[in-house]
Amino acid sequence: MQDFNDKVAVITGGASGVGRSLAFALGRRGAKVAVGDVDAAAMEQVAADLAAENIEAIVERCDVTDVDSLNALADAAAEKLGGLDLVFANAGIGAGEQGAMWEYSEKDWQWAFDVNVWGVVNSIRAFMPRLVASGKPAHFVVTGSGNGAYIVLPDAPIYTATKAAVHAITENLHYQAQAAQLPVKVSALFPGPHVVDTGLFNSGRVRPEALKKDGVEGNESGINSVDDMKKMCEQFGIELQTTHPDEVAEMALKGLEQDAFWLLETTEDTDAKIRARADMILNRTTPVPASVG
């Protein structure tokens, strides 16, 4: 998809972080944008900021754990913006787990799988039939994570497990679209190459009431921002490098212009970790944990 002008793009989790940056990157290229989110304050802000740049957009409350909510977002995009060309299944949360995984709260597992995994499944169910039925070139993009897709960082097992599942779903969707010769291209977006400076670490702000924990239930990492993570790394002599969400959005759109499946930017260190993991499997060596740095 080399021309985004007048295309209609839906972005879940689009009011902040990578989703917000995608909205502006697309809008500045002439696309019309439908932002779905559950964060009321962020929704209000992104609506004002998009309007200030004269980007044609709608901002709707959308809970990806509810397929009816996603269908409503799809209907709004079609009715108010005139169609549907790109879908970014981008919504995701971090449960904030820490310590031994057998001590985690069931509510953390439930919440992360509801949003990160079922959110993608529900997005596929809501949007793919519409994209296929249109019969025109379209793109479905899923935001995953290298933590789970190609390496395993043991400090966040819940998040890692959800993103491993997400990539398996994404790759299978790609294979099915190819096999059926559909006009819909599927891509896997991996924010990076460094830790992305988003509100993922502060996901608790949108935790649903039914899955909130009492004071003694499960463990908490105490990391609520990228700055908190930087300070923690400094204690161990590690300088944490970060990536701005705008950089991720630009990387993603450049990849989409080439119909790329892998929307991915890595470093030499990341590539080495991927090779080491593949060698570990092929050589049947005992796994050792990868580092964040």
Just list the catalytic residues. 159
Tokens of residue 265, six digits: 């930017």
Sign, Cα dihedral of 8, 243, 108, 214 = negative
Indicate the pairing of strand 195-196 with strand 184-190: unpaired
Tokens of residue 240, six digits: 């944490």
Q: Cβ–Cβ contacts within 10 Å for residue 31, how many?
A: 24
Tokens of residue 213, six digits: 């924990």
> Three-class SS of residue 5?
coil
Length of the chain: 293
Helix residue ranges, H only, 53-156: 67-76, 106-112, 118-134, 146-149
Place of tokens 């529900």: 122
Residue 288: C-alpha distances to residues 86, 151, 216, 291 (Å):
39, 11, 31, 10
Tokens of residue 90, six digits: 């981008």
Q: What is the DSSP letter of 171?
A: H
